[in-house]
Amino acid sequence: MSKTAIIIGGGIGGLFTGAILSRCGIRSVVLEKNAIIGGGLQCFRRKNRIFETGMHVMGGFEDGGTLRRICKWLGILDSLNIHHIDGDCMDEIRYHRSGETFRIPSGREAFVERISEYFPDEAHGIKEYVDELYRLTEEVPLFYLREQPAGITMHSEKFTWAADRLIAYYVSDPRLRELLAWLNPLYGGVEGHTPAYIHALINVLYINGASRFIDGSQQLADALRRVIEEGGGGVLAGQEVTHIDVADRVAKGVVTATGQRFEGDWYISSVHPLEMLRMVPQGTFLKGFVRRLNEIPDSYSAFSLFISLKPDRLPYIDHTCYYMEDFGEMWTQDRFDPADWPKGFMYMTPPDARQGEYATRLLVHCIMSYDEVKRWETTRVGRRGEDYEVWKQDCVDRIVAKLGNIFPEFSDMIEDIYAASPLTIRDYYNTRNGAIFGYRKDCENLIFSQLPVYTKVGNLLLTGQNINLHGICGVPLTAVNTAEAILGINTIVNQINNAQDS
């Protein structure tokens, strides 16, 4: 216990990095600005109902799955209450205008078989496409918790293609091309820009099996906090870091808004890199790096509904649902047109501990461009003004009307509705433009949006969704990367693998 890491940001990245380091004997102190820890894992409670904010569907928890193995090694797996979604239909995509519904199963073979039943003329291309997805993931050893090879990693040409180009290479029916991009909202897919490898990682992650937390994702944040505390450290809520003290390219301490100073051997920023830039003295980083951090484009934002349902009205649905108004709009959902927003959305019923036949809550996420709320961007939570409240109510009404296309008399099923806009996301996570997945990865300039965990300040490292990949798989894997930057390459991966073997 001779070394200490100070971690800025108590979201998924900060907590996983802190827990991994704690498990390896490095005391970790995590500083979180919000009153409740967890970032994307945080849940809020209204009238005794729990709502998840940024973690609804997860991959990697099936037998042998990456997340399962990491959590097992951390000693928290048994404390997590996880429900594996119905394998015969993990996702359902409904096209309103044509009246068609596609039910996607989990499992590689089942997936190929079912999609081929829907599009028999494309069966050969579908099989080749899925083989290619799995092959592309083999180019990312960390995805399977394999050792990182020494030296420069070479990638195949298709790895850096645009995701839509990869799909179009294997199948020709425009409806199928679009259907195969149904997970776009889970990685912020943008036509011509989102790299094929990200599409492959997310698709394979979910095709291998999807899960949900029973009674909310806060339990994972709390379990990680316990690991950090057992290692002699702590997770402190209500501690917004305002300054990182840097001299001669060495971080010396951090100061929080409460005036407290924390010192350690290592400093890890698990907040948006632009937020980190605000904390360091001017001149800490080269101008080119600062410009780059400012110029990397953002992923899109979202408008969310958290609906509390009246008892015994809406049956519980054991899969994630995607509603699309029509074909041809899967890649253009972020282009906001007030006349026909929303073009589509994702919705789901989270499970309770004693889940019966009926759901108690419904969550809805609609992709939305930050431009739509720009006119209120100088306002803060609770004080955004009457015109904002009117606009927000109009958004709620539009989504509820479309839910009425799916569930007749849906309005009558509602007990309460709470809504969050891109501004809520921006202010809650401190993420520019309310970008749900942070920086956007772009196949047109991959290196530009790919940040290393190291910085020019020797003992200041980066982690979190902006560095590699977002979400329940990407962020913990980057935490492994960041911890290995301190402990040595492949040390954590080997420990995790050895623990499974023993």
Ligand X SMILES: Cc1cc2nc3c(=O)[nH]c(=O)nc-3n(C[C@H](O)[C@H](O)[C@H](O)COP(=O)(O)OP(=O)(O)OC[C@H]3O[C@@H](n4cnc5c(N)ncnc54)[C@H](O)[C@@H]3O)c2cc1C
Q: How far is the CB of 275 from ligand X (least distance, A)?
A: 5
Q: Are 465 and 451 contacting, i.e. CB atoms less than 8 angstroms apart? A: no
Closest residue to ligand X, Cβ-based?
11
Q: How far is the CB of 122 from ligand X (least distance, A)?
A: 29
Which residue stretches of 62-217 are H helix?
Answer: 66-74, 108-118, 123-137, 163-170, 174-179, 184-187, 196-207
Which of 33, 177 has the CB closer to ligand X? 33
| Per-residue tokens: 273 | 């890199």
3-class SS of residue 210 = strand
Which of 16, 95 has the CB closer to ligand X? 16
Q: Is the peptide bond before 338 cis (omega within 30 degrees of 0)?
A: no
Q: How far is the CB of 436 from ligand X (least distance, A)?
A: 4
| Per-residue tokens: 41 | 């894992």
Q: Are 188 and 437 contacting, i.e. CB atoms less than 8 angstroms apart? A: yes
3-class SS of residue 79 = helix
Which of 227, 302 has the CB closer to ligand X? 302
Rounded to an integer, what distance in angstroms lies between the CA atom of residue 283 and that of residue 306? 43
3-class SS of residue 267 = strand
Rounded to an integer, what distance in angstroms lies between the CA atom of residue 339 and that of residue 24? 55
Rounded to an integer, what distance in angstroms lies between the CA atom of residue 226 and that of residue 22? 10
Which residues are at the interface with ligand X (CB under 6 A)?
A: 8-14, 31-34, 39-40, 54-58, 240-241, 270-271, 275, 302, 304, 365, 425, 429-430, 436-437, 464-465, 470-472, 475
Q: How far is the CB of 403 from ligand X (least distance, A)?
A: 18
Which of 73, 429 has the CB closer to ligand X? 429
Torsion of CA 3, 455, 457, 16, to 10 degrees: -30
Q: How far is the CB of 52 from ligand X (least distance, A)?
A: 8
Q: How far is the CB of 14 from ligand X (least distance, A)?
A: 6
Rounded to an integer, what distance in angstroms lies between the CA atom of residue 355 and that of residue 353? 6
User: Which string of DSSP letters, residue by residue, matches 337-371?
Assistant: -TTT--SEEEEE-PPPTT--SB-SEEEEEEEE-GG
Which amino acid is located at 325 in the chain?
E
Q: How far is the CB of 462 from ligand X (least distance, A)?
A: 10
| Per-residue tokens: 162 | 């645009």
Q: How far is the CB of 464 from ligand X (least distance, A)?
A: 3
Which of 125, 233 has the CB closer to ligand X? 233
Rounded to an integer, what distance in angstroms lies between the CA atom of residue 495 and that of residue 501? 10
Q: How far is the CB of 278 from ligand X (least distance, A)?
A: 8
Which of 110, 419 has the CB closer to ligand X? 419
CA dist 67 → 145, 198, 231 (Å): 10, 17, 21
Which of 176, 194 has the CB closer to ligand X? 194
Which of 171, 302 has the CB closer to ligand X? 302
3-class SS of residue 266 = strand
Which of 33, 440 has the CB closer to ligand X? 33
Which of 69, 177 has the CB closer to ligand X? 69
Q: How far is the CB of 276 from ligand X (least distance, A)?
A: 8
Sheet containing strand 460-462, strands side by side: 234-236, 27-31, 4-8, 266-269, 460-462
Q: How far is the CB of 476 from ligand X (least distance, A)?
A: 9
| Per-residue tokens: 381 | 């939570």
Which of 31, 70 has the CB closer to ligand X? 31
